[in-house]
Amino acid sequence: MSHNFETCNGRIHVVKKGDTLYKLSKRYQVNLSEIISANPYVNVYNMQPGEEVCIPVREPDEPEFYEVKEGDTFETLLKNTGLSPNELFRYNEALYKIPLEAGIRIELRDR
């Protein structure tokens, strides 16, 4: 499915079998929420091969930010940004100092 991308500030990606917006965010190193915003017509649950997706780009040295919303968890933060836990902490050292709620049990190893 072809779309009019006169407003695409980036590059056009033609969907291949197995592509997901999450995979594209990792491949192009673009925030998942930015890809979703740039492609409001895309059915994120049923992308079809041949469909075109706008991949936004920014200047290489321009930092990117995500504003935490009420109810966000580390899981939603990772999902919405497309970052791995290591990347999230590498870019945001202050997260190491966020107090944890007393009583939470944290598993330290696999059983």
Q: Which domains does the chain have, with CATH numbers?
A: 10-56 (3.10.350.10), 65-101 (no CATH)
- 12-24: pLDDT as tens digits: 989 999 888 888 8
* DSSP letter string, 32-99: HHHHHHH-TT--TTS--TT-EEEEE---TT--------TT--HHHHHHHHT--HHHHHHH-GGGGGSP
- 33-85: pLDDT as tens digits: 889 989 988 888 889 999 999 998 766 666 678 888 899 888 888 887 778 88
